[in-house]
Amino acid sequence: MVRTFIVCAVVVSISGAARAHNAKDWLGEEMPLPLAVKTPQDLAVKAVAERQYLIFNLLAGGKLAWDAGDFATAATKWESLLRVPNLDPEIDHVVRPLAVAAREHAGGAAVASAPSAPAVNAKPAAASTPVVAPAPRVLPVVVSGTIAGGGAPGPGGAVVWLKRSNGETPRPAPAHGKVISQKGKAFVPHVLAVPVGTKISFRNDDAIFHNVFSLAKPNDFDTGLYKQGATYEQSFHKPGPVQLLCNIHSSMIGYVYVVDSPYYAQADGSGAFTIRGVPPGDYEIEVWHEGSSKNTRQHLTVGVDGVRGLDLRVGGDRRPPEFVPDKSGKPRQSHLGY
Amino acid sequence: MIARFAIVAALVGFARAAWAQAAPDAEPAAENENDSDGYTPPAGGPGAPPLSIDGYIDVGFARAQGDGTSFSPNDTRLPVDYGVDTFAPAVNSRGDVASTEHGDRLVNGFLPRSVGIGGRPSFLLNVVALDLKYAAPGAPLTIFTRLLGLPRFSDQGDASRFLVEQAFGRLIPFDSLELAIAVGKFDSVFGIEYLDNESNIRTGITPSLIARYTTGQSLGAKVFYRLQIPAAWSAVSINAAATNQGTFVESLQTADASLTGEPVLSARLGYELNLPHVQMKIGASGSYGPRNDQSDRGAKLQLHGLDFRLAVAGVYLNAEAVQVDEDAGAAKTTPSGPQLVASGFHARGFYAQLAWAIAVDAGPLHKITPYARYEQRQAQFEGFDRITVDRITAGVRVELWDSLIVKGEWLVNRELAGAPNVANNVQTASVVYSW
d(CA B68, CA B118): 4
Give the range among B168-172, B248-252, B413-417 with minimum mean pLDDT: B248-252
Closest CA to A213 of A254, A183, A174, A185: A254
- Nearest 5°: phi and psi at B80? -70, -25
In chain A, the residue whose alpha carbon lies closest to the alpha carbon of B277 is A328
**Is B31 within 8 Å of A48 when comparing Cβ atoms?**
no
d(CA A265, CA B125): 47
Task: Find out whether B246 and B264 touch, Cβ atoms under 8 Å.
Answer: yes
Q: How far is CA A232 from CA A204, A222, A235, in A?
A: 9, 10, 10
Angle at CA of residue A74, ends A71 and A80, nearest 5° = 140
d(CA A212, CA A262): 27
A137 band by pLDDT with thresholds 50, 70 and 90: low
Interval B75-87 mean pLDDT: 89
Of chain B, the end-to-end C-alpha distance in Å amounts to: 75
Task: Write down the H helix ranges in B217-345.
Answer: none
Q: How distant is the Cα of A44 from the closest Cα of chain B, in angstroms?
A: 5
- Give tens-digit pLDDT for B219-229: 999 999 999 99
Give the range among A328-337, B109-118, B149-158 with minimum mean pLDDT: A328-337
Task: Write down the H helix ranges in B352-435.
Answer: none
Interval A304-326 mean pLDDT: 91
User: Is residue B289's pLDDT more than 70?
Assistant: yes
**Amino acid in position A128:** S
CA quadruple B208, B210, B211, B217: dihedral, nearest 10: 180
Of chain A, the end-to-end C-alpha distance in Å amounts to: 61
User: Is residue A7's pLDDT more than 50?
Assistant: no
DSSP B251: G
Determine the residue among A205, A322, A323, A326 to mutate to test chain B binding: the one whose Cβ has the most chain B Cβ atoms within 10 Å: A322
User: Is residue B295's pLDDT more than 50?
Assistant: yes
**Is A338 within 8 Å of B4 when comparing Cβ atoms?**
no
User: Is residue A50's pLDDT more than 80?
Assistant: no
CA quadruple A14, A16, A21, A27: dihedral, nearest 10: -10
B30 band by pLDDT with thresholds 50, 70 and 90: low
Query: Is the previous residue joined to B335 through a cis bond, with omega within 30 degrees of 0?
Result: no
Contacts of B6 in chain A (CB under 8 A): 9-10, 13
**Is B402 within 8 Å of A293 when comparing Cβ atoms?**
yes
Average pLDDT, chain A: 81
CA quadruple A254, A256, A257, A263: dihedral, nearest 10: 120
d(CA B55, CA B165): 13
Determine the residue among B33, B217, B236, B278 to mutate to test chain A binding: the one whose Cβ has the most chain A Cβ atoms within 10 Å: B33
Closest CA to A326 of B279, B186, B268: B279
d(CA B187, CA B270): 17
pLDDT of residue B269: 98
Q: How distant is the Cα of B322 from the closest Cα of chain A, in angstroms?
A: 23
Q: How distant is the Cα of A232 from the closest Cα of chain B, in angstroms?
A: 14
User: Is residue A269's pLDDT more than 80?
Assistant: yes
pLDDT of residue B345: 95
Per-residue burial over B158-189, b = 16 or more CB atoms within 10 Å of its CB, e = otherwise: beeeeeebbbbebbbeeeeebbbebebbbbbb
Q: How far is CA B272 from CA A95, B236, B373, in A?
A: 61, 6, 23
**Amino acid in position B122:** S
Average pLDDT, chain B: 89
pLDDT of residue A123: 39
- Give tens-digit pLDDT for B323-380: 999 999 888 777 667 777 788 999 999 999 999 999 998 889 999 999 999 999 999 9
d(CA A72, CA A81): 14
> What is chain A's percent helix, strand, coil content, to nearest 5?
25, 30, 45
d(CA B234, CA A72): 66
The H or E element containing residue A65 is: helix A40-67
Q: How distant is the Cα of A186 from the closest Cα of chain B, in angstroms?
A: 10
Calculate the CA A248 to chain-centre distance.
Answer: 35
**Is B30 within 8 Å of A85 when comparing Cβ atoms?**
yes
Closest CA to A262 of A195, A186, A312, A320: A195
Report the SS3 class of residue A60: helix
Contact pairs from chain A to chain B, CB under 8 Å:
237
A138 band by pLDDT with thresholds 50, 70 and 90: low
User: Is residue B313's pLDDT more than 60?
Assistant: yes
Residue A290 falls in which region: left (phi positive, over 0), alpha (psi -120 to 50) or beta? alpha
pLDDT of residue A66: 82
Burial of B336 (0-12, 13-18, 19+ CB in 10 A): middle
pLDDT of residue A22: 45
Burial of B296 (0-12, 13-18, 19+ CB in 10 A): middle
Is the ipTM reported for this complex over the cut 0.90? Answer: no
Confidence (pTM)? 0.76
User: Is residue A32's pLDDT more than 80?
Assistant: no
Interval B80-107 mean pLDDT: 93
Closest CA to B432 of A322, A129, A100, A234: A322
Rounded percentage of chain A residues whose pLDDT exceeds 90: 46
Task: Find out whether B203 and B355 touch, Cβ atoms under 8 Å.
Answer: yes
Q: How far is CA B432 from CA A293, A318, B394, B402, in A?
A: 19, 17, 18, 11
- Give tens-digit pLDDT for A69-82: 888 888 888 888 88
DSSP secondary structure string for all residues of A150-169: -STT-STT-EEEEEESSSPP
Interval B207-236 mean pLDDT: 95
User: Is residue A150's pLDDT more than 70?
Assistant: yes
pLDDT of residue B292: 85
In chain B, the residue whose alpha carbon lies closest to the alpha carbon of A144 is B34
Report the SS3 class of residue A202: strand
The most confident of the ranges A14-23, A43-52, A115-124 is: A43-52
Report the SS3 class of residue B324: strand
Give the range among A24-33, A256-265, B96-105 with minimum mean pLDDT: A24-33
- Nearest 5°: phi and psi at B38? 85, 180
DSSP E strand stretches across B244-299: 264-274, 278-290
d(CA A224, CA A245): 12
CA atoms within 13 A on the CB side of B342: 26
User: Is residue B19's pLDDT more than 70?
Assistant: no
Contacts of B25 in chain A (CB under 8 A): 47, 171
A135 band by pLDDT with thresholds 50, 70 and 90: very low
**Is B144 within 8 Å of A335 when comparing Cβ atoms?**
yes
Task: Find out whether B62 and B119 touch, Cβ atoms under 8 Å.
Answer: no
Task: Find out whether A304 and A141 touch, Cβ atoms under 8 Å.
Answer: yes
DSSP A329: S
d(CA B102, CA B299): 29
pLDDT of residue B16: 43
d(CA B260, CA B39): 56
A3 band by pLDDT with thresholds 50, 70 and 90: very low
Task: Find out whether A265 and A286 touch, Cβ atoms under 8 Å.
Answer: no
d(CA A170, CA A299): 18
In chain B, the residue whose alpha carbon lies closest to the alpha carbon of A9 is B6
| Number of residues that this document lists for chain B | 435
User: Is residue A109's pLDDT more than 90?
Assistant: no
Contacts of A206 in chain B (CB under 8 A): 175
Residue B201: count other Cβ atoms within 10 Å of its Cβ. Answer: 19
Report the SS3 class of residue A286: strand
In chain B, the residue whose alpha carbon lies closest to the alpha carbon of A206 is B176
**Is B27 within 8 Å of A262 when comparing Cβ atoms?**
no
The counts of H helices and E strands in chain A are 4, 19
pLDDT of residue B262: 94
- Nearest 5°: phi and psi at B231? -60, -30
**Amino acid in position B317:** L
